Amino acid sequence: MPRVLRMPGIAANATDAVLTEWLVSEAGEFAASDALATVETDKALVDVEADDAGVVLKTLVPAGTRVEVGAPIAVLGRPGEQVDDLDALLRELGLAEATAPVVGGPAVGEPVVGEPVVEETVVEEPPSNGRVFASPLARKIAHDAGIPIEEIPGTGPRQRVLRRDVEGAVRARQGRPAPEARRDEKTPSDASYEDLPHTRVRRLTAERLVASKRNAPHFYLRATVRAERLLSLRAELNEALADDGAKVSVNDLVVMAVAAAHRRVPELNVTWTDDAVRRWRTADVAVAVATDRGLVTPVVRDVESLSVSSVAATVRDLADRAREGRLRQEELEGGSITVTNLGMYGVEEFAAIINPPHAAILAVGAVREEPVVEDGAVVPGSVMTVTLSVDHRPVDGVVAARWLAELTELLERPVRLLA
């Protein structure tokens, strides 16, 4: 018996999502747990998996459409099932319209249902010797960019080249000079400005940070940390882990120090709710990652239970998948504090806006050489400035000051992080 596939409620409190890509076309068969489609939430791309084996009888929503949670997006059948009269089937299932409604109008850059859609549609093709499988949109983007489709590795079903594969190849070649435009043709550079449509991630980040500054009374504490021992420990760890291919960054050690400071001052490991201050039992630390689509903050779970190499590997994996847009929604939820680091860009210090519903965010600046006073004498030293932004609703100033003092001690004596 045919059944209706509906837009799942993937993210907490989400009312809609964008169906970015069909991974199985109409008449295409699939096995249990196969990915049928990719859905974009506000911060991640999530695959919609099949509960049982079957066949896609009809897709009701074109790729690139924003759809309300619970709305029908496809009709599925049993393996090998065929339907002679699809219109009659749709009426029988209560689906007079073969599309799901757009919620709240189209998002910027998203098509309205009923309009022509220039988007990625996966069409299953019989295998052919030497033939490259690619979606029409992927071929168009590759052609416009001057990249042979045969040179782009595919990540879709049967190594099909998808839009994300081509966009990655384009980004990798951005250093190449562009072909010179004809003098009698107008190009985008002739305009005095260029409008870059908001991505869903950037739009949501803007909304959340505006709400954070409006609703959470921020206060800020700053500390200057002596970083010689931190740098020395990092160098020793990387030398010891070289054979395993692991590499530890200063930021990895900061994440571990934040978790240890949470254990010492659990009053900061909290979030604010309408009815209570919620204190968390584990130190889950979010790490800010800049991507082409906007800022995302994946969470490293129970940091204190991990070794330093595990923390480094976890942060690297989350950051890589964040840039690829392949994080799972649950990896973006939870935690009470975020670590954001601009030191690699030479920024000495900055204050960050709290990532709701977290109670704090730690901004980490660059390690720099400066004269410092030691035993009454001025000597050369390595220092790093950290700035803690705190939500004053669940956390008082004294608690935040105690926490920052513990963090400073841990960073200045980092061997304690390995105990």
Catalytic positions, written as ranges: 392
Find out whether 401 and 237 touch, Cβ atoms under 8 Å.
no
CA distance 146 to 303: 45
CA distance 222 to 38: 43
Find out whether 324 and 172 touch, Cβ atoms under 8 Å.
no
The SS3 of residue 370 is strand
What does the block give as tokens for 17? 């999502």
Where do we find the tokens 């800020």? 220
CA distance 366 to 384: 6
Q: What is the DSSP string of 22-52?
A: ESS-TT-EE-TT-EEEEEE-SS-EEEEE-SS
Q: Show the 3-state SS of 302-360.
A: CHHHCCHHHHHHHHHHHHHHHHHCCCCHHHHCCCCEEEEECHHHCCCCCCCCCCCCECE
- Dihedral sign (CA 365, 368, 374, 376): negative
The SS3 of residue 234 is helix
**DSSP structure class, residue 275:** S
What does the block give as tokens for 135? 């979606």
The SS3 of residue 377 is strand
| Neighbouring C-beta atoms of residue 139, cutoff 10 Å | 14
What does the block give as tokens for 97? 């319209």
The gap between the terminal CA atoms of the chain, to the nearest Å, is: 60
What does the block give as tokens for 95? 């689906």
In degrees and rounded to multiples of 5, residue 258 shows phi and psi of -60, -45
